């Protein structure tokens, strides 16, 4: 069983790559919204969680999901695939800690470098570099798939609860994900797609324009895919990123 969280498609692509033929990964944000957090695992079935790295940690929604998750029986093998633009930092430890609180041991943490999607703090990966990054990622995912099939236990030192080390940046995620930073400009044509894409229902359409109605969101960049959406002045004049897998099917 493979769960994923994605803002701009990289982690969805990674989750799909690990699926058996005919299998679809489960959107954990959708499961949370629908209150579906209890799952039965088949005999010996692995549990996978695929998500991006944010501020050297994992998205708030992923921690919320891990906190609510109930799996029966407990997985014999649990792994995570963390997609990131450059550095995974303490993200695996943070997730391991949240799962450990539910009695789930994280046996392996894999990292895949994928294009940068953070138009707020950085410049997204230039188009001419993306194909090469995605080709390397596809190869890395093939190797990871084999490691998962072999139930390899690797890549993670799980520290005792409360002693987990994350990147010093992670506390800033809490303040930066306040939705007061978002606004929409006159390029908006009122299509409502940003609202549909928001994984945490932080937005609604009001008078033909998106409005942010929750105090905090996951800061996933799904709404920022549209050039009419801005985060203070930080995204002004910047290109936006979306993985080709979402262009074709979402």
Cα separation values, 64 from 91, 104, 198, 214, Å: 14, 15, 16, 16
Q: Give least dist CB 77 to ligand FMN, A.
A: 23
Query: Is residue 106 involved in binding ligand FMN (CB under 6 A)?
Result: no
With contacts defined by CB under 6 A, name the span among 32-40, 81-89, 197-205, 227-235 that binds ligand FMN.
Answer: 81-89
Residue of 28, 108, 217, 242 interacting with ligand SF4 (CB under 6 A) = 217
Closest to ligand FMN by CB, 117 or 179:
117
Instruction: Choose the one of ligand SF4, ligand FMN, none that binds residue 229, judging by a C-beta under 5 to 8 angstroms depending on kind.
Output: ligand SF4
The answer to whether the CB of 181 falls within 8 A of the CB of 173 is no
Q: How far is the CB of 35 from ligand SF4 (least distance, A)?
A: 19
Window contacting ligand FMN (CB under 6 A); options: 1-9, 37-45, 138-146, 230-238: 1-9
Q: Which of 191, 213, 232, 239 binds ligand SF4 (CB under 6 A)?
A: 191
Q: Which residue is nearest to ligand SF4 (CB)?
A: 217
Cβ distance 88 to 110 under 8 Å?
no
As measured in angstroms, the least distance from the Cβ of 198 to ligand FMN is 13
Q: Does 165 bind ligand SF4 (CB under 6 A)?
A: no
Neighbours of 7 (CB within 10 A): 30
| 141 in contact with ligand SF4 (CB under 6 A) | no
Which of ligand SF4, ligand FMN, none sits in contact with 84, Cβ below 5 to 8 A by type?
A: ligand FMN
Closer residue to ligand FMN (CB): 108 or 220: 220
- Residues near ligand FMN (CB under 6 A) are 6-11, 52-56, 83-87, 114, 116-118, 219-221, 243
Binding residues for ligand SF4, rule: CB under 6 A, are 7, 179, 184, 188-194, 197-200, 202-203, 210, 212, 217-224, 226, 228-229
């Amino acid at each position: 069983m493979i769960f994923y969280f994605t803002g701009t498609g990289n982690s969805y692509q990674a989750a799909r790559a690990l699926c058996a033929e005919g299998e679809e990964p489960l959107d954990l944000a959708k499961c949370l919204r629908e209150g579906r957090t209890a799952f039965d695992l088949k005999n010996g079935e692995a549990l996978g969680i695929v998500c991006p790295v944010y501020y050297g940690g994992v998205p708030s929604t992923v921690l919320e999901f891990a906190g609510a998750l109930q799996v029966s029986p407990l997985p014999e093998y649990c792994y995570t695939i963390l997609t990131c633009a450059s550095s995974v930092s303490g993200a695996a430890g943070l997730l391991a800690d949240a799962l450990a609180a539910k009695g789930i041991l994280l046996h392996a943490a894999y990292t895949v470098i994928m294009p940068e999607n953070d138009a707020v703090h950085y410049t997204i990966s230039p188009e001419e570099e993306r194909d090469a990054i995605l080709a390397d990622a596809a190869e890395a995912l093939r190797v990871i798939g084999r490691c998962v099939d072999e139930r390899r236990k690797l890549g993670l030192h799980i520290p005792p609860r409360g002693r987990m080390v994350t990147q010093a940046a992670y506390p800033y995620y809490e303040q930066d994900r306040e939705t007061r930073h978002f606004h929409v400009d006159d390029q908006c044509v009122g299509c409502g797609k940003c609202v549909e894409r928001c994984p945490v229902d932080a937005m609604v359409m009001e008078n033909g324009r998106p409005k942010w109605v929750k105090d905090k969101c996951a800061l996933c960049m799904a709404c920022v895919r549209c050039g009419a959406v801005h985060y203070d002045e930080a995204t002004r004049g910047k290109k936006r990123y979306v993985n080709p897998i979402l262009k074709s099917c979402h």
